[in-house]
Structure formats: structure tokens, C-alpha cells
Amino acid sequence: FVTPDGGIEIAPGTLLAVAPLCAHDERIAARPFANLVASLRQEALSVHLASSGRDPLRPMIAVEETLLVADADQGAGAIAALLAAPDDDEAAAWTMAVAAWLRRAAREAHAAASVRDGRVARVQARVHYEIGKTTLTVAGLASYAGCGPDHLTRQFRRETGEGLAAYIQRVRLEQARDLLAAGGRTVAETARLVGIADPAYFSRIYRQRFGRPPSRE
């Protein structure tokens, strides 16, 4: 796992906690391989298994209702205890607790989403996964989902009540608001981190959504 600050080798049994929108690359040293990846953004928990020879974004599923079912406080508490563990034995115990919580959350998310269209769920997971890329578009998502842009847009609106382009923009702006609230980033850097190349455009749509410019956050 490679970041601008250096690399971290991830071996079997390793749990790596990564900050949201951390710029990174992954280099696979051995095959076959499998990683269980859990991404918590806004109120959506996405859990998927990345492994050799399969689509890493076919989720166990990502749905907005997940954290209404899964106990988010329990998961956050277990992760905090893991990060604060004073020795390897206690860290191993808390790792098991985190893993158990993630498995339960994934099962409940899958059950909650079972009545929904799998294509829409995959597209939602893809949006959260690629939100920092300027190449994230409705056309690209349609190609990924194996259908035309118009068909995907209609299906997405029917399933969620929201247009796909509007969904992408909302996720970007909500991510940006969280980043600005955390501090330490310029408006231009924040725009880039959520996949918007033009800071002026970012500032305009941010003001339209939240009623104030990003520079005042």
C-alpha cells in the first residue's frame, strides 16, 4: 500500500486503517490474494472482497440504510480500542472484534439491499470508490454497469428517487464539506480531492448547495 509518504507492506492478518480520500496505490506482490475492504463515508458502509480474478467493486453491498441496522457506535468503539491497544495481544483481540462487527454489518447490509436492483447498488459503490477522480461520469458508470447512460439514469432514479448526476455531485460536495471541516486544506486542494478540477466551479456549486462559499467553512 503506497502513499506519497511511503509504503506499507500488508501481510495476512494485517488491518490497515486509512484516512478518507488518502491518495494511494496498491501493488500486489503475491497471487492469489484477497483483501476485505470496508469503507465508511457519510452514512454509507461499503464492504467488498477484492481478490484475484474478480471485480473488486461488486459489493457485499453498499446501501444508505446500513448504519441504521448495524451498530455504528459499537464499530467505532472497537476500532478506537484497536488503535489504542498497548500490545499485540490486545490488538489481535480487538481486530477480531472489528472483523466480527464488519461481518455482521455486511450481512445486514446485504439483507437490507436484497430487494433492490444489483446494478444500482454496484453503481453507488463505484461512485463512493472513485469520488476523487475527475473521470467519474455517468457515461463511464453506464459502461461499467453494462448498459446505456439513459437507461442507467432512469433505473437509478426509479430505485433511489435521485438522478445519477445529482447523486455524484451530492456525494462530492458532502465529502468536500467534511474535508473542509477537518481543516488544513485549501479550497483548490479540497476540490481536487473530490474529483472537481475547477476550483471556481467547485465554489459556485458548493455555495448553491450549502448557502455559503467553501472558503467560509
CA dihedral 60, 63, 68, 73 (to 10 degrees): 60
* 34-43: b (≥16 Cβ within 10 Å) or e: eeebbbbbee
pLDDT (tens place) for every residue of the chain, 217 residues total: 888 888 888 887 777 877 767 777 788 877 777 777 776 655 455 656 666 655 544 443 433 333 333 455 666 677 777 778 888 778 777 777 777 777 666 666 555 554 455 788 778 878 877 888 889 999 999 998 888 999 999 999 998 899 999 999 999 998 899 888 878 889 999 999 899 999 999 999 999 999 999 988 7
In the prediction, which pLDDT does 156 show? 92
* Single pTM value for the model: 0.58
pLDDT at 56: 46
Residues 57/48, Cβ–Cβ less than 8 Å: yes
Distance of CA 203 to the CA centre of its chain: 23
CA 177 remoteness from chain centre: 15
